[in-house]
Amino acid sequence: VALVLAAAALLFNLGVSAGERPRIDEIRQLRESGRIMAAEEIIARSRSVQPGQVVGLELERDDGRWVYEVKLIDTGNRLHKLELDAATGDVLEREEK
């Protein structure tokens, strides 16, 4: 439960999509049912794909599935945006801005 609350707090501290913003109780239910991974796990996976400082994290519904969007800044001050499947952690999209 503490992990779920920490993940929910992290989501709201870093920013959650205003389009389909999940409520904290909804995030808890998604985590407890195994439908989404914890934010900490997603951040760790993101950093393994693209090292950098996390500056944004969003959880949103996209075409019927939950997707985490993670924004990171690398050591060269380039912004990277990763979209990961919230259930599996698989990278769906990756772009440098």
Q: Which residues have a Cβ under 8 Å from the Cβ of 39 and sit 6 or more positions away? A: 6, 7, 10, 11, 57, 59, 68
- The neighbour count for residue 5, using CB atoms within 10 Å, is 13
The number of CA neighbours under 13 Å toward the Cβ of 87 is: 9
Q: Which tens digits make up the pLDDT trace of 14-66? A: 444 444 667 888 888 999 999 999 999 999 999 999 999 999 999 999 888 99
- What's the pLDDT at 14? 47
Tokens found for residue 8? 């929910």
- What's the pLDDT at 10? 53
Q: What is the pTM of this model?
A: 0.77
* Residues linked to residue 83 through DSSP beta bridges, in sequence order: 69, 93
